[in-house]
């Protein structure tokens, strides 16, 4: 079985290439982030024609997460208990950042963690609260069913170590590398989840469009999957598909692909 996560950076602009990539790569389940469209605008037919069912929650030109599966798509859940809201024009909004479904017995999550913007921005506080709420929710679920096979896949917007960024000094005073953000990810790991890509695919997954970041390999590793121990034992390989990032008009993120034993 093959599961992938990919921040597609607008699914309407890239639906044909995303579907073609998934088919060619033999992906059974694809977690997508930053779809950037409402549910009724999602290019569903492209996926259905290729044999994928899709669950999606969108928010217009921002955020949006989806799961495409050709091995079953059951018990779809949008967001999670205790998810923080974000004030938009003075109104509390639950952003479209989390969706999960059961695919061939595995609870697959597609997550788009808030960016944080800058450490002194309210969005940074929101990011930390969002991660804390998710961590608490997952801890409760794992305590209820320790043998559950769970994958939290997505764009985490946190580089866990200095090895996960091309230049630590460049990121000094910026988000993605601060101690509180890294501690928030560590809470998932301390709770028993495993960064299943790391032994196989430690390379960068995101390269900004500007300043020739990709040709210079000036990137970050912010896309990965945290797996329950029961699922991690099935992970036999992972890779970052840099070729997908090279394609014309590609997303600024590369897909991360996981191979699971039957």
Q: Is 163 annotated as a binding residue?
A: no
CA 4 and chain centroid, separation = 9
Across residues 248-258, what is the average pLDDT?
97
- Please check whether residue 70 is in contact with residue 3, taking contact to mean a CB–CB distance below 8 angstroms: no
DSSP 76-102: EEES-TTPPPEEETTEEE--S-EEEEE
**Per-residue pLDDT at 74:** 98
- Please check whether residue 46 is in contact with residue 82, taking contact to mean a CB–CB distance below 8 angstroms: no
Structure tokens, 50 = 């290729």
Which three-class secondary structure state does DSSP give residue 133? helix
What does each C-alpha distance from 221 to 136, 168, 254 come to in angstroms? 24, 13, 10
Q: Does domain 2-260 have CATH number 3.40.50.300?
A: no
Cα distance between residue 22 and residue 53, in whole Å: 13
Query: What b/e string do you get for 75-114 counting C-beta neighbours within 10 Å, with b at 16 or more?
Result: eeebbbeebbebeeeeeeeebbbbbbbbbbebbbbbbbbb
**Per-residue pLDDT at 56:** 98
**Per-residue pLDDT at 89:** 80
Give residue 221's pLDDT band: very low, low, confident or very high (50, 70, 90): very high
- Our answer to whether residue 112 is catalytic in this structure is yes
- Please report, for the chain, the start and end positions of each structural domain, with discontinuous segments joined by +: 2-260
- What does the pLDDT look like over 131-147, one tens digit per residue? 999 999 999 999 999 99
- What does the pLDDT look like over 23-52, one tens digit per residue? 999 999 999 999 999 999 999 999 999 999
Helix or strand (DSSP H, E) at 242: helix 242-246
**Per-residue pLDDT at 252:** 98
**Per-residue pLDDT at 42:** 98
Helix or strand (DSSP H, E) at 125: helix 122-144
Q: Is 253 annotated as a binding residue?
A: yes
DSSP 186-220: HHHHHTT-EETTTTT--S--B--SSTTTTTTT--B
**Per-residue pLDDT at 87:** 82
**Per-residue pLDDT at 208:** 96
- Our answer to whether residue 253 is catalytic in this structure is yes
Mean of per-residue pLDDT scores for the chain:
97
Which one is catalytic: 28, 52, 53, 112? 112
Which one is catalytic: 155, 164, 195, 232? 155
**Per-residue pLDDT at 1:** 98
Cα distance between residue 249 and residue 81, in whole Å: 37
**Per-residue pLDDT at 88:** 78
Percent of the chain with pLDDT over 90: 97
Cα distance between residue 199 and residue 230, in whole Å: 17
Which one is catalytic: 53, 56, 224, 253? 253
- What does the pLDDT look like over 71-127, one tens digit per residue? 999 999 999 999 999 987 888 999 999 999 999 999 999 999 999 999 999 999 999
- What does the pLDDT look like over 161-171, one tens digit per residue? 999 999 999 99
Q: Is 217 annotated as a binding residue?
A: no
Q: Is 155 annotated as a binding residue?
A: yes
- What does the pLDDT look like over 183-199, one tens digit per residue? 999 999 999 999 999 99
Across residues 45-63, what is the average pLDDT?
97
**Per-residue pLDDT at 147:** 97
Q: Is 7 annotated as a binding residue?
A: yes
């Amino acid at each position: 079985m093959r599961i992938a996560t990919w921040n597609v950076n607008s699914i309407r602009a890239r639906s044909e290439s995303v579907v073609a990539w998934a088919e060619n790569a033999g992906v059974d389940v694809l977690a997508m982030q930053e779809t950037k469209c409402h549910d009724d605008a999602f290019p569903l037919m492209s996926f259905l024609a290729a044999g994928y069912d899709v669950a999606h929650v969108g928010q217009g030109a921002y955020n949006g997460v989806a799961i495409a599966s050709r091995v079953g798509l059951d018990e779809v859940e949008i967001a999670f208990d205790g998810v923080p809201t974000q004030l938009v024009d003075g109104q509390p909004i639950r952003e479209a950042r989390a969706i999960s479904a059961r695919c061939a017995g595995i609870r697959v999550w597609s997550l788009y963690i808030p960016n944080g913007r800058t450490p002194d921005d309210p969005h940074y506080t929101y990011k930390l609260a969002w991660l804390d709420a998710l961590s608490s929710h997952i801890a409760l679920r794992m305590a209820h069913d320790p043998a559950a096979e769970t994958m939290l896949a997505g764009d985490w917007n946190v580089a866990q170590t200095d090895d996960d960024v091309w230049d630590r000094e460049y990121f000094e005073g910026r988000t993605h590398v601060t101690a509180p953000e890294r501690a928030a990810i560590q809470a998932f790991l301390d709770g028993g989840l495993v960064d299943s890509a790391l032994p196989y695919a430690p390379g960068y997954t995101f390269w900004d469009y500007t300043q020739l970041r990709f040709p210079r390999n000036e990137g970050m590793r912010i896309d990965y999957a945290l797996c329950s121990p029961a699922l991690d034992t099935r992970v036999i390989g992972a890779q970052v598909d840099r070729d997908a990032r090279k394609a014309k008009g590609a997303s600024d993120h590369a897909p991360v692909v996981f191979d699971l034993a039957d």
